[in-house]
């Protein structure tokens, strides 16, 4: 077991590694590392360590392992499942000072980033080299490369470019005992033994601490076209996606489904304007991209016409300016946030096989309203990935706390539908503490046993983010 409260003497030894300036003990200074953005959790810690080098990270973990001291690694503190929060007074290991982009290699289409590089800065560095780093998500102004890899983040670019895991060529990882593993290569093909990258990507800092990564870059799109499309149903949206991929040669880089109620919240609370004259039950934000400068708008128009003819589209508008494009995106981007103006919201970040999305939405909506009559399902999300954020707003006028008290009941009925369709109860946010116990109840028992075996093997003293992902 890890010791619950490190002694003042031990804390001083940790502080010495990074120097006093980067050993944060002041309560006000600590605050941004301890709060969770939605107020779900508030951590406590005697000490936040902000190492400035991989060697310092290694020294910290070695001391932690030797003294059985629990460590919570942290990037930009934007995680949504409580994985980066010290729930039990653990020492926080903040990676934000490892913020150097070590190299951009435009010819090899690779970029080598330290863990603390902010995602938006990584995107900007790629753009400066006339390349695209396609990982993109709401928190990109704060989220770090280390954090998005540790949680295997998804986001809006996953349709075309894959999730965070798919964008990694090489890794540098500090193991629980302080050894530094360097598989930081720039190779697309490397079959020299077991793939160790994917053990640490998505492990939420429980198996090792990622300190740097080589990520993939792509040719930068020269043209982008954005459409806001009303569709009769999720099934029509799915068929439209297949049509768009066929007609644009896989050029659809965004395909976000939104139920009417979710965009209505954006109109009501975020000042967004409805881009279409009439109201419709379902919408798709469709974006196509190309590395060519011309011809894309024509291909999009042809796609929309074909969709209209096939009955997959009721109405559509295409952005004619960057301002119009931004306005369309803003509808999608505010959806999650503006739900709070409608009272309590119970969230589900789930995925199902693509073919099951329409049935999932119908069945989960029915199950939710059967559980709490009057509740308002607001499904939206990355349809092309089968990833629906199935958020449920409280009934109008209901008691918020009373509604939120049924969080787990609601999860149970929605996740039961997910499982019936062979889906995942955490598509892109991870497990952290929020879904740990449910995972333990529902994961394939052999897979869960292998996970526990890996945890106890790679972190025998359970110092790395203990209690997250798997409980031992």
Q: Which of residues 402-441 bind its own copies (CB under 8 A)?
A: 422-431, 435, 439
471 near its own copies (CB under 8 A): no
Structure token digits, residue 244: 């768009």
Answer whether 267's CB lies under 8 Å from 274's CB: yes
Distance, CA of 434 to CA of 414 (rounded, Å)? 16
Residues 230 to 249 in contact with its own copies, rule: CB under 8 A:
238, 242, 245-247, 249
181 near its own copies (CB under 8 A): yes
Nearest in space to 255 (alpha carbons), one of 355, 155, 134: 155
Of 85 and 426, nearer to its own copies (C-beta) is 426
Minimum CB distance to its own copies, residue 351 (Å): 5
Of 391 and 393, nearer to its own copies (C-beta) is 391
468 near its own copies (CB under 8 A): no
List Cβ neighbours of 6 (8 Å cut-off, separation of 6 or more).
14, 46, 47, 67, 69, 91
Among 189, 277, 323, 397, binds its own copies (CB under 8 A): 189
Among 13, 165, 260, 330, binds its own copies (CB under 8 A): 165
321 near its own copies (CB under 8 A): no
195 near its own copies (CB under 8 A): yes
Of 30 and 110, nearer to its own copies (C-beta) is 110
Q: Which long-range contacts (CB under 8 A, 24 or more apart) does 200-203 make?
A: 200/149, 200/150, 200/171, 200/173, 201/149, 201/150, 201/152, 201/164, 201/165, 201/168, 201/171, 202/149, 202/150, 202/151, 202/152, 202/164, 202/165, 202/430, 203/150, 203/469
Applying CB under 8 A, the span of 20-28, 45-53, 310-318, 382-390 interacting with its own copies comes to 382-390
308 near its own copies (CB under 8 A): no
Of 231 and 338, nearer to its own copies (C-beta) is 231
**How many other CB atoms are there within 10 angstroms of residue 84's CB atom?**
29
Minimum CB distance to its own copies, residue 322 (Å): 21
373 near its own copies (CB under 8 A): no
Instruction: Give buried/exposed letters for 260-284 (b at 16+ CB in 10 A, else e).
Output: ebbbbbbeeeeebeebbeeeeebbb
Residues 260 to 289 in contact with its own copies, rule: CB under 8 A:
none
Minimum CB distance to its own copies, residue 150 (Å): 11
Of 37 and 453, nearer to its own copies (C-beta) is 453
Of 6 and 73, nearer to its own copies (C-beta) is 73
Of 16 and 246, nearer to its own copies (C-beta) is 246
Of 128 and 457, nearer to its own copies (C-beta) is 457
352 near its own copies (CB under 8 A): yes
Among 111, 113, 143, 163, binds its own copies (CB under 8 A): 163
Which is it for strands 315-318 and 345-346: parallel, antiparallel or unpaired? Answer: unpaired
Counts for the chain of helices (H) and strands (E), in that order: 16, 19
Among 44, 67, 142, 185, binds its own copies (CB under 8 A): 185
451 near its own copies (CB under 8 A): yes
Sheet with 48-49, edge to edge strand ranges: 23-24, 48-49, 91-94, 71-74
Distance, CA of 465 to CA of 472 (rounded, Å)? 12
Answer whether 186's CB lies under 8 Å from 170's CB: yes
Minimum CB distance to its own copies, residue 69 (Å): 22
């Amino acid at each position: 077991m890890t010791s619950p409260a490190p002694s003042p003497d031990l804390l001083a030894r940790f502080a010495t590694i990074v120097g006093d300036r980067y050993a944060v003990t002041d309560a006000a200074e600590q605050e941004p590392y301890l709060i969770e953005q939605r107020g779900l959790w508030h951590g406590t810690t005697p000490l936040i360590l902000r190492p400035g080098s991989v060697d310092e990270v290694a020294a910290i973990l070695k001391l932690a392992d030797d003294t059985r001291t629990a460590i919570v690694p942290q990037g930009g503190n934007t995680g949504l499942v409580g994985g980066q929060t010290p729930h039990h007074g653990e020492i926080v290991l903040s990676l934000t000072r490892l913020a150097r982009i070590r190299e951009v290699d435009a010819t090899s289409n690779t970029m080598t980033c330290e863990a603390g590089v902010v995602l938006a800065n990584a995107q900007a560095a790629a753009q400066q080299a006339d390349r695209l780093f396609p990982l993109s998500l709401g928190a990109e102004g704060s989220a770090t490369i280390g954090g998005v890899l540790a949680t295997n983040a998804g986001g809006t670019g996953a349709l075309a470019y894959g999730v965070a895991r798919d964008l990694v060529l090489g890794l540098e990882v500090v193991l629980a005992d302080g050894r530094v593993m360097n598989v930081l290569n720039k190779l697309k093909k490397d079959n020299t033994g077991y793939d160790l990258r994917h053990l640490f990507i998505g492990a939420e800092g429980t198996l090792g601490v990622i300190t740097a990564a080589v990520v993939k870059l792509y040719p930068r799109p020269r043209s982008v076209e954005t459409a806001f499309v009303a569709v009769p149903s999720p099934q029509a949206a799915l068929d439209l996606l297949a049509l768009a991929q066929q007609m644009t040669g896989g050029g659809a880089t965004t395909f976000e489904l939104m139920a009417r109620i979710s965009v209505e919240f954006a109109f009501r609370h975020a000042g967004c304007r409805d881009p279409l004259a009439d109201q419709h039950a379902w919408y798709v934000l469709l974006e196509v991209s190309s590395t060519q400068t011309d011809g894309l708008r024509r291909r999009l128009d042809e796609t929309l016409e074909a969709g209209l003819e096939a009955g997959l589209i009721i109405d559509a508008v295409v952005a004619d300016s960057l301002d119009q494009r931004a306005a369309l995106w803003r509808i999608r981007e505010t959806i999650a946030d503006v739900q709070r103006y409608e009272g309590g919201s119970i969230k589900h970040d789930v995925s199902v096989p693509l073919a099951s999305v329409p049935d999932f939405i119908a069945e989960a909506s029915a199950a939710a309203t059967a559980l709490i009559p009057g509740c308002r399902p607001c499904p939206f999300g990355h349809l092309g990935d089968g990833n629906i954020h199935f958020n449920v707003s409280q009934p109008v006028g209901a008691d918020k706390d009373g509604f939120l008290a049924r969080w787990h009941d609601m999860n149970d009925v929605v996740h039961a539908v997910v499982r019936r369709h062979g889906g995942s109860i955490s598509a892109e946010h991870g497990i952290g503490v929020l879904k740990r116990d449910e995972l333990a109840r529902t994961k394939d028992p052999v897979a869960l046993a292998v996970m526990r075996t890996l945890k106890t093997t790679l972190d025998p003293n359970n110092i790395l983010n203990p209690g997250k992902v798997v409980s031992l």
